């Protein structure tokens, strides 16, 4: 588990190079809305025995959500990433 809350605001985080199972960060740290971000190793979320609302989808990533997704924040997050990606330079330019 890698807490990238501080790094994500200052560096392009390469989750493959870190080789971690989970990486967390918070969008408001890089001018985005108040929403947390969880990046999981592919397939790993489906193996976790988590509490889940019966009405929620059984597959990841929905199985760890407790209700309706925060669509306005997700739209804001997408816009933030699009905005920042245009300023990226060097080896990790773009959204990757």
* 6/95 with CB nearer ligand PLP: 6
The residues, any chain, with a CB within 8 Å of residue 25's CB and separated by 6 or more, are: 3, 4, 5, 7, 8, 13, 36, 37
Distance of closest approach, residue 89 Cβ to ligand PLP, in angstroms: 26
Cα Rg of the chain (Å, integer): 15
Which structure tokens are listed for 42? 């592919």
* 26/76 with CB nearer ligand PLP: 26
* 23/45 with CB nearer ligand PLP: 23
Q: 3 — phi, psi (to 5°)?
A: -90, 105
38: contact with ligand PLP by CB under 6 A: no
Residues 13-32, interacting with ligand PLP (CB under 6 A): 26
Residues 49-88, interacting with ligand PLP (CB under 6 A): none
How far apart are the C-alpha atoms of 63 and 54, rounded to whole Å? 9
**Where does this chain bind ligand PLP (CB under 6 A)?**
3, 5-6, 26, 36
């Amino acid at each position: 588990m890698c807490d990238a809350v501080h790094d994500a605001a200052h560096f392009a985080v390469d989750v493959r190079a870190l080789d971690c199972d989970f990486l967390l960060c918070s969008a408001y740290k890089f001018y985005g809305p108040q929403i947390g971000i969880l990046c999981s190793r592919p397939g790993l979320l489906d193996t976790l025995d988590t509490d889940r609302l019966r009405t929620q989808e059984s597959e990841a990533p929905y199985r760890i959500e407790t209700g309706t997704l925060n669509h306005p924040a997700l739209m804001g997050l997408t816009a933030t990433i699009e905005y920042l990606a245009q300023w990226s330079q060097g080896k990790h330019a773009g959204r990757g």
